[in-house]
Structure formats: C-alpha cells, structure tokens
C-alpha cells in the first residue's frame, strides 16, 4: 500500500453547505422508518378504538331522547374522523422521526464504506470527523485508530526498505539488508493471513 499524509495532520474538510440528503441507505432506512410508522399508527388506532368503544358503552347506558341521540351520532362521526386523523398524523410523525434517526446511523456507515473502498484501492483515505449528532462514534474512533496504525506501519516499513536500498546501493552489508527485507516480507504475509476477530 502507498502511504498517504497523516489523517491527524490534515485539516478536515467539510462539504459546502447545501441540500442535505436524509435517505442515504434506502433499504435500511425505509425498512425501520416503515416499521416505526406502522407501529405508531397501529398503537394510536388501538387506543383510539378503545376510547371510542368506551364512549359507545357510556352512551348505551344513558336514557336519551331521539333528538339527543341524533346529535350524538353526528358528534360520533366527527370523533371517529378525528381518531383516524390522529392515527395518521402519529404514523407520519414517527415515520419522519425514523428517517432522522436512521440517517444518524446510515451516514457514518456510508462514510466508512467509502473509506474502506479507498483503502481497498491501496490508498489511505483522509478521514473527517463525524457530524455532531451522528451515532457510531466509538466504532468510528476505533476504525480511525486502526487505519492510523496501518498507515504508520506502512510508513515504518517504507523507511526500512529505504534503509535496505541505501545499504545495497553503497554495496555495504548486503546480508543485513536482505534480513530486513525478509522480515518485512514475513510480517506482511502474517498480516495478510486470516485472523479470528472474536479472540
């Protein structure tokens, strides 16, 4: 891998202010947004239905005139429409909340995926800090530390190769230079081997 400038020494560059995209990972975000909206709508609907049935029970126990019952029937229709409107508004509000909450998770995952793509191409990305309200900050911090460790290791090994090349160029102790190069080769082979991340 080629070494890039240290992420710690490079100032973070924020994108220019503009339109913010709240749906970054459509599948993930819409799945949980829809789940929240349906849950909110169903919960509101259940409570509203219980309230409406209790209201109807209370009316049955009252001795009312036909005219009063007609007026109450009209009021019941209004109440029913209000109950449906509240359930729909609750579902919409929870859906909007779901988009905002999942955005705080999907954003960091999207950014880290971009960094991993850059790393897979053999380059070290310049990391920028997450936004103030983003989630996964502890995970992102560990990710950043891992990248910095890898980058520093690459710089150290590049320095070792440079020293070995200087020895070879000066026709000095060629054997010592070969030992250093073999040690780097062995470390790279070990690093490329499979590791059980659970241990």
CA distance 90 to 38: 9
- Element (H or E) spanning 184, and its range? helix 174-192
CA distance 24 to 58: 50
The mean pLDDT of 104-133, rounded to a whole number, is 86
What is the pLDDT, as a whole number, of residue 33? 85
Count CA within 13 A, CB hemisphere, residue 48: 19
CA distance 92 to 107: 22
pTM: 0.55
Specify burial of residue 113 (Cβ count, 10 A radius: 0-12, 13-18, 19+): exposed
Confidence band for 7, pLDDT divided at 50, 70 and 90: very low
The pLDDT of residue 190 is above 60: yes
For residues 144 and 168, which has the higher predicted lDDT (pLDDT)? Answer: 144
DSSP secondary-structure letter at 176? H
The pLDDT of residue 23 is above 80: no
CA distance 12 to 8: 9
């Amino acid at each position: 891998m080629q070494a890039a400038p240290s992420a710690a020494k490079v100032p973070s560059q924020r994108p220019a202010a503009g339109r913010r995209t709240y749906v970054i990972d459509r599948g993930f975000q819409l799945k949980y947004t829809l789940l929240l909206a349906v849950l909110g709508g169903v919960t509101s609907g259940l409570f509203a239905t219980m309230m409406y049935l209790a209201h109807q029970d209370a009316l049955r126990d009252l001795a009312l005139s036909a005219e009063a019952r007609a007026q109450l029937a009209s009021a019941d229709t209004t109440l029913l429409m209000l109950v449906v409107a509240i359930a729909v508004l609750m579902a919409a509000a929870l859906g909007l909340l779901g988009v905002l909450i999942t955005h705080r998770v999907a954003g960091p995952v999207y950014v880290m995926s971009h960094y991993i793509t850059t790393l897979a191409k053999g380059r070290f990305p310049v990391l920028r800090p997450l936004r103030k309200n983003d989630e996964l900050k502890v995970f992102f911090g560990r990710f950043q530390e891992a990248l910095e460790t890898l980058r520093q290791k690459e710089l150290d090994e590049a320095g070792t190769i440079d020293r070995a090349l200087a020895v070879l160029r000066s026709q000095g102790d060629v054997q010592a230079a070969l030992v250093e190069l073999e040690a780097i080769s062995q470390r790279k082979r070990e690093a490329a081997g499979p590791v059980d991340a659970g241990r």
